[in-house]
Amino acid sequence: MKNILVPIGSNDNAVGNLQYAIDLAHHWDAYVYVFSAFRELSKVGGLAKVNAIIKEDCENRLQEVLDKVDKKGVTVIDHPVKGSVLETVVRFNKHVSIDLMVLSPKSNSIREEVYLGKTTGNLVKNTNIPALIVPEGDVFKGPETILMAFKDGNFKHKSMLEPLKKFMVHFGSEIKLLHVSTPESTPQMQRVSNKLQKLQTSYTKSENATTFQGVLEHFQSHNPDMLCVVRRKQGFFKKLWGKNVVLKKEFHTSKPLLVLSAQ
């Protein structure tokens, strides 16, 4: 866990989100890469000056955010980048291996009924980088308990669980497993990987129509500081990840949400 990426959007939570990432990086001795993406207009018609202004506005926005955070001795590398946020993240990850993205639930959307806005939803859906989605206004605190909800207990690659293990080892977090059996579950899904069993503090088996319903049923009794799920094609967010915007009525949480990579 050496490289944390923070895309900065135009929402008011940009400062808080970056500060959260810096506070986490301070504990993990990690680097923080922060960027703000901008799109140039076609240069046909003499728009070079307009594009220069767009880039300058992006640079100024980024600097405003950086001026308001406490870096705490953490190395923060910032850069305005041309292109969409998604293509920039994918391109950047090819050159610098990103261990975790720290994201705001909503980058630009002001719709109250939205949990995940288009930009964040797009990043979670179309990258395979572990993501930590931080509620607006949340201040970093090492989680004492993490509720991990899953339907399929098979984890073939140890790297899938690395972010979860990092929290457990560094902050002494208790890992409470919630294994949800749904009508779609197969016998193979009922097994729990030894890799995951080694991390668990407690294990609960639940039968529900969906994984999210299992979370709703058991969330209060576990009272976690963080919720953890897995990004799988046939997993927790199978339907939700099929689109970029996720409404609160479909899924939401007031706690930080750790989304593990499926590979």
Q: pLDDT tens across 184-210, in order?
A: 899 999 999 999 999 999 999 999 988
Is the pLDDT reported for residue 212 higher than 70?
Answer: yes
Domain boundaries defined on the chain? 3-133, 145-260
Is the pLDDT reported for residue 54 higher than 90?
Answer: no
**Which pLDDT score is estimated for 43?**
59
Is the pLDDT reported for residue 232 higher than 80?
Answer: no
Confidence of residue 159 (pLDDT cuts 50, 70, 90): confident
The residues, ordered by sequence, that sit 6+ positions from 104 with a Cβ below 8 Å of its Cβ are 9, 11, 13, 14, 17, 117, 120, 133, 134, 136
b/e 162-196 (16+ beta carbons within 10 angstroms → b): ebbbbbbeebebbbbbbbbeeeebeeebeebbeeb
Please tell me which residue, 61 or 22, carries the higher pLDDT value: 22
Is the pLDDT reported for residue 94 higher than 80?
Answer: yes
Please spell the DSSP secondary structure of 130-169, one letter per residue: -EEEPPTT------SEEEEEES------GGGGHHHHHHHH
Please tell me which residue, 262 or 103, carries the higher pLDDT value: 103
**Which pLDDT score is estimated for 114?**
60
Domain spanning 3-133, CATH class: alpha beta
Superfamily assignment of 145-260 in CATH?
HUPs (3.40.50.620)
**CATH topology identical between 3-133 and 145-260:** yes
